[in-house]
Amino acid sequence: MFNHVTTVEIPNLKTVNINKQRFYVTPEGNKYPSITTVLSGRSKQGLMEWRKRVGEDVANHIARTAANRGTKVHHMCEDYLNNEFDDDKHKKDFLAYCLFGQLKTQALNNINNIHFQEAGLWSDKYKVAGRVDCVAEYNGKLSVIDFKTSSKPRKEEYNENYYIQTSAYAEMHEEQTGTPIDQIVILVVTSDGEVQEFVKQKHDYLPKLTEAIEAFNNER
């Protein structure tokens, strides 16, 4: 059983689409872009080249399949960490269930003292918002934890957006709760069941976060 820690109640955030981009509405009525929207511009060129190379139909199929698989694995992780996992329900999605099983065995049991799951956070300092997968202790250290699925093992150089994203969540968390978080953790499970663990320090990615926000604002 996982222990859950109630620290600060954070209100739910509404989302709105502005020019086909996701924004969150804070309790004060401010509309802040999602951190994933902000970071999407950093990988846009590579994504466009990939789509051109494989063709739009193939690209759309791959993207839908990956998103569907990722959503299912996310839901399984959330239920498991909430002590609400229904084995009969989830094993109907066999591939996602198998991938979750690898993630559970190799990484999820390193998590405890869970503060938040799927919580909307925002930063008045950076003027961004987002929904964090998990805030909890990982191997005994309070961390922002993000769950990812991938068709193949992730190379370190391709993960920078993930590190910036989770660093942003750490900053948002400190603003909303007063509790600082230095460690960020990315847990990846690949289509063949390999689990990768990437553990970083938030402060190494805050300059890149500021750069990304400035670039996004300059393009609007």
Q: What is the pLDDT along the chain (220 residues), one digit of tens a residue?
A: 899 997 788 888 999 998 889 999 999 999 999 999 999 876 554 545 544 565 655 444 444 555 567 789 999 999 999 999 998 889 888 889 999 999 999 999 999 999 999 999 999 999 999 999 999 999 999 999 999 998 889 988 889 999 999 999 999 999 999 999 999 999 999 988 999 999 999 999 999 999 999 999 988 7
Tokens of residue 79, six digits: 């239920």
pLDDT at 57: 54
pLDDT number for residue 66: 54
97: Cα within 13 Å, side-chain hemisphere: 10
**184-219 core/surface letters (b: 16 or more CB in 10 A; e: else):** bbbbbbbbeeebbebebebeebbebbeebbeebeee
Q: What is the side-by-side strand order in the sheet with 31-33?
A: 14-18, 21-25, 31-33
Per-residue confidence (pLDDT) for residue 151, from 0 to 100: 84
Which structure tokens are listed for 81? 């960490």
* Domains of the chain, start order: 14-219 (3.90.320)
Quickly list H helices, the chain: 35-40, 44-54, 56-81, 87-90, 94-106, 160-177, 206-219
- Its pTM stands at 0.90
| Phi, psi for 192 (deg, rounded to 5) | -95, 10
Tell me the C-alpha distance between 180 and 207, whole Å.
Answer: 17
Predicted pLDDT of residue 175:
96
